[in-house]
Structure 1
Amino acid sequence: MTRYVKEMGGALLAYMLVLAGSIRVLQALPELAMAAKAAIALLPMLPGIAMCWAIVRNLRRMDELQRRIQLEAFSVSFAGTGLITFSYGFLEGVGFPKLSLFIVWPLMCTLWVVSGFFCGRRYR
């Protein structure tokens, strides 16, 4: 098992546990002050930061070709996410249902994986 898998897997497990815990606390204690609710709701972002750190550490361990492939994949993912979300924003203006911002991160990650596959094939 690679170091990246351990780091990302640990951060992802922590994220799921903290997320489940924060949801339970917020549901069990609806009378909490708004500041406390906000702090508890944001707790899952701490392991989220660890996930981002695992990605950065993994990029730093890559050779130049792997970094180039990832840069191209990130670029496609960034631009694609912008185009898709912007386009859907226009569609919301003509009556399409509003989407949560929670869709942006999974969309960006999906585009990153897919574009990484295609960008990597170019160098084989």
Structure 2
Amino acid sequence: MNKNARQYTVRFSATMVLYMAALFGSVHLLQSVEMAPVLRGAVALLPVLPGLAALWVVMVFYRSLDEFKQRMLAEAMIIAALLTGFASFAYGFLEGALDLPTIPLIWVFPVMIGLWGLAGCFQKYVVYR
């Protein structure tokens, strides 16, 4: 593992630890403490801060890669965004036609990130091997 990859792993792991702490802490506060609506909103958004830091860490790592690896990651993200967008678009039609349950929006980003990983694996082992 090269220096940039090690730095990325350490930094990303740290942001994920902070994210988990903010997530569990905010959920605990929201369930156990009575607050004004504005304060509840601020507490609910606490996990977004380390999430934004994680995005910064990803971008720093992306910029450290060579052009080919950047292209692979960018293409995988485009594929993931398109698949996520079209899946939510199609589900919206099915939701109305078949009276399916609404999927909470909080799942859109994790699905897109998961598809990014799958698209990256597909590219690495099938397209660019």
TM class, shorter-length: over 0.9
Report the number of matched residues. 123
Is 1:108 the counterpart of 2:112? The answer is yes
Q: Which segments of 5 or more consecutive residues in structure 1 lack a partner in the other structure?
A: none
Taking only aligned residues, the RMSD between alpha carbons, in angstroms, comes to 1.1
Residues 60-75 of structure 1: matches in 2 within 5 Å?
60-75=63-78
Query: Residue in 2 aligned with 1:19?
Result: 23
From 99, 123, 127, give the equivalent of 1:119.
123
Residues 25-40 of structure 1: matches in 2 within 5 Å?
25-30=29-34, 32-40=35-43
**Aligned residue type for 2:128:** Y
Q: Which segments of 5 or more consecutive residues in structure 2 lack a partner in the other structure?
A: none
Residues 43-122 of structure 1: matches in 2 within 5 Å?
43-94=46-97, 95-121=99-125, 122=127
Q: TM-score when scaled to structure 2?
A: 0.91
Q: TM-score when scaled to structure 1?
A: 0.95
